Amino acid sequence: MTAETRSASPPAERAGAALLLAVALLSASGLMFEVTLTRLFSATIWYHYTFVAISVALFGWGLGGFLVCVLRLARFERQVASILGALSLLVAVTFPLFLVLLLQVGFTPHDLTWYFLLSLLPFLAGGAALSLAFESRGKDSNRLYFADLLGAAAGTLLVPLALSRLGAETTILAIGVLPGIAGVLLLAPCGGEGRPWRLLAALVPLAAALCAAWNLTSDALAVRDAPEKELYKLLAAHPGKARVDSDRWNAYSRITAVSGFDEFHIARLFIDSSAETSVLRWNGTDQDPPGAASWFRAFPFRMKRGARVLVIGPGGGTDVVLALVTGSPKVTAVEMNPLIVDCVRRIGAAAGNLYDHPRVELVMQEGRNYIERTDERFDLIVLGWVDSWASVASGGLALTENYLYTQEALAAYYDHLTEDGALAIIRWPIDVRRLAANAVAFLGARGLPPQDVGRRVLAASLRRPEADELSTVETVFLLARSPLLPEKVGELLAGHEDAYLMHAPGRASAQPWDALFSGEMTLAAYGDSFDTLATPVSDDHPFYFAWDKPLGIPGFVVRLLLLPVGAVVAFTLLLLLGAKRLGFRAPRGRTVAYFGALGMGFIIVEVALIQRLILLLGHPLYSLVVILFTLLVCGGIGSLCARRVPAEGVRRALGWIVPLVVLLLLAGAFALPDLVRALLPLALPARVLLAGLLVLPFGFLMGMPFPLGLRHEAADPGGAPLSALWGVNGVASVIGSICGLSLALIAGFTWVFVLGAVCYAVAWVARPRVPRLAQGERVP
């Protein structure tokens, strides 16, 4: 695009109300689809792939900008509204098209390329529409960006409601209503010759709503099989017997109840089709199930007669039943997911009315948040296979983070034990490696040598695991508040003489645990002795399940991440090297650095803030509704306020706005952890309010640099097409999200904040120069 062409286009015009509302609707639909896509991928393929879905979304937004730039759509200034309307309608059509084609392909990791290509379609069309809006009304970028972020914020509120009431598949169909309405709004002002198109456009949102209603009642377009998932393996293993009793979604999980596979369990509940928790057939008495008190996983309940027990993440309730059967007068069950509780309650008397039992106190809360805030002490705290293997509701911006098994978490459990109490974690043999390291690390920080830690630890598996059974043999890791005497160890292990002892006080133990707890081996040498990572994990570095050496990133995930990185590099080179051949002006290197750094910085800070504050709020849903919503709304307000900056004052304004962002990020890196811990005892409304206030300055200041940069370029006759800059910002976000995740895995979230500060520092160095305008000229 030549300078003459740019000057003849209408960027100086203000965006009308219809365009602003259309931008908000498009942005809302994009965020809703992004979150829904992470839920769908987590429930059908595997939770690792949800992060790549986010990369595809960001790449699609950016690629849409490049498409507008290459096709030079902004040159059709009289038809811009019609083109925007057509693109919006195209976005609406891609949602049902995506769902139909995806269900045809099926769900196996072997077809990942197809999933990502199909997922790209709505984002590509949406990115093209939004970038064209900015290109055509560039000098009103502040208001457009305000509408963009406000629409995305509205999407964060709508998507949890839609997923809970409609399920993922129907939500995808319903999302099409929003861009359909946007298309109607944009085509409404067209002249008489556009009347047939307006009538046709009006049918699109209506058709999307009818499709969603039809699928909600018929369940015709639904996931029927995902052969790599445990849910479908169970159904295939018991044809004609096992049946799905219920299948429900919320914003952070899909809960499927299956029955008929055996007589002992009345149901098995699957979280995102993989993580499972069983509901025992129980009559509600201490004598049923027969022999339950002698089960291997029940031996921790022998620590004390009449123990007050806390079960974190009880799921189907097996550990709650064991606590009652072994004589506990009161069991506190802390469960986060209401769908699981509802499934167990629906079973009713056949499951002993478990969660309404007079000796059971049900607390609907996230376990780590509960233990940090309660003043109660317990004789036994139990965590039995507590993980969901699901992407968090914040949009899948993580891989394997878990705050239930960090050093700080173990310290919190330990501090809430009575003097003769114990913590019991029931998992797999491979978990003992990291749990032992955590115990030595946090108790060592309190002055206990490894020998004293060893006197408090009992780690045993039901039997000696083979090399390929490290994640299949039932294992108990028990950490007592006081040293375990030999007679207590004998009492606990009575009847389990065949158990494999990794470590037990006063008994022959396996290596390297014996060397670790005797003080002969350092933690570093202990970690080196395994073929997986066995280093302690902390709240700053909570990747408990990141076991792959050397950095914790599985090899297949590295290969997956190379796909969006390669695509970003390819299209960036196309933009920079092929601009002249394609007929548009390439952005200057300084401009690319500025918008690229902003794209990387914003997504990095978003990831870091969500992870820092999720512990304060205590629920993944709140991370979406509070943190992301506040960040986006405040960013939009910041963009609107920055509209007052005159064109000639953009560089000067950025000269102080961006350094404030850098200072804020550095403060957040080192001050937020202690602040979160200090605020944890407050009631939920106070914590929600304070979390919003903490996010406010980040969003407000970070919402200014991008639209100010776009306004500067729109006012510069020699500036680059705004659609190209939109593309640079979008694809840089892909790199930012991957870099942020990788750095979190390697060094922790403190350094993710620092990386975000570095990105904004680069943006400050590359900020726009003084525009070539007449003295005193202002943007309308």
Q: Is the pLDDT of residue 406 over 70?
A: yes
User: What is the per-residue pLDDT for 774?
Assistant: 41
Overall average pLDDT of the 167-183 stretch: 96
Q: Give the tokens for residue 377.
A: 């002490």
Overall average pLDDT of the 545-550 stretch: 86
Instruction: Report the sign of the C-alpha dihedral through residues 663, 669, 671, 675, in that order.
Output: positive
Overall average pLDDT of the 293-311 stretch: 95
| pLDDT-based confidence at residue 1 (cuts at 50, 70, 90) | very low
For 60-69, the pLDDT digits (tens) are 888 898 888 8
| Nearest one of 441, 446, 447, 475 to 460, comparing CA atoms | 475
Whole-angstrom Cα distance, residue 578 to residue 259?
59
Q: Is the pLDDT of residue 744 over 70?
A: yes
Q: Is the pLDDT of residue 632 over 50?
A: yes
User: What is the per-residue pLDDT for 583?
Assistant: 64
Q: Is the pLDDT of residue 752 over 80?
A: yes
- CA atoms in the 13 A half-sphere facing the CB of 536: 21
Q: Is the pLDDT of residue 528 over 70?
A: yes
SS3 248: strand
| Nearest one of 176, 58, 62 to 607, comparing CA atoms | 58
User: What is the per-residue pLDDT for 131?
Assistant: 93
Range scoring the smallest mean pLDDT among 178-187, 199-208, 310-319: 199-208
For 232-268, the pLDDT digits (tens) are 999 999 999 999 999 999 888 899 999 999 989 999 9
Range scoring the smallest mean pLDDT among 386-390, 464-468, 647-651: 386-390
User: What is the per-residue pLDDT for 356?
Assistant: 96
Q: Give the tokens for residue 465.
A: 């695991």
Overall average pLDDT of the 389-393 stretch: 40
| Nearest one of 127, 16, 93 to 727, comparing CA atoms | 127
Task: Give 576: exposed, middle or buried? Use CB within 10 Å, 0-12, 13-18, 19+.
Answer: middle
Range scoring the smallest mean pLDDT among 94-108, 380-394, 583-597: 380-394
Q: Are 276 and 347 in contact, with CB atoms under 8 Å apart?
A: no
Identity of the amino acid at 595 = F
Alpha-helix runs per DSSP H in 618-683:
620-622, 629-641, 650-679
Residue 589 to residues 37, 69, 322, 510: CA-CA distances in angstroms? Answer: 34, 17, 65, 59
Range scoring the smallest mean pLDDT among 205-214, 484-493, 646-655, 662-671: 646-655
Overall average pLDDT of the 414-426 stretch: 97
Range scoring the smallest mean pLDDT among 193-207, 281-295, 698-712: 193-207
User: What is the per-residue pLDDT for 624?
Assistant: 76
What residues does 424 pair with on adjacent strands? Answer: 382, 478
Report the DSSP pairing between strands 308-312 and 330-335: parallel
For 130-159, the pLDDT digits (tens) are 999 999 888 889 999 999 999 999 999 999
User: What is the per-residue pLDDT for 194?
Assistant: 55
For 331-345, the pLDDT digits (tens) are 999 999 999 999 999
Answer with the residue of higher pLDDT: 575 or 9: 575
Instruction: Report the sign of the C-alpha dihedral through residues 206, 212, 216, 221, in that order.
Output: positive
Q: Are 68 and 728 in contact, with CB atoms under 8 Å apart?
A: no
**Number of neighbouring beta carbons within 10 Å of residue 683:** 9
Q: Give the tokens for residue 145.
A: 């960006």
Q: Which letter does DSSP use for residue 299 in this model? A: G
Answer with the residue of higher pLDDT: 543 or 12: 543
Q: State the distance between the two ends of the chain, measured CA to CA, in whole angstroms.
A: 24
| pLDDT-based confidence at residue 582 (cuts at 50, 70, 90) | low
| pLDDT-based confidence at residue 2 (cuts at 50, 70, 90) | very low
User: What is the per-residue pLDDT for 548?
Assistant: 86
The residue written with tokens 């030595």 in the block is 440
For 217-233, the pLDDT digits (tens) are 999 999 888 888 899 99
The residue count of the chain comes to 780
Counting residues of the chain whose pLDDT is more than 90, the rounded percentage is 64
Q: Is the pLDDT of residue 191 over 60?
A: no
| pLDDT-based confidence at residue 556 (cuts at 50, 70, 90) | low
For 663-715, the pLDDT digits (tens) are 999 999 999 999 998 998 888 899 999 999 999 999 999 999 999 999 998 88
| Nearest one of 350, 344, 420 to 379, comparing CA atoms | 420
Mean pLDDT for the chain overall: 88
Q: Residue 499: what are its φ and ψ, rounded to 5°?
A: -65, 150
Counting residues of the chain whose pLDDT is more than 70, the rounded percentage is 90
| pLDDT-based confidence at residue 390 (cuts at 50, 70, 90) | very low
User: What is the per-residue pLDDT for 259?
Assistant: 96
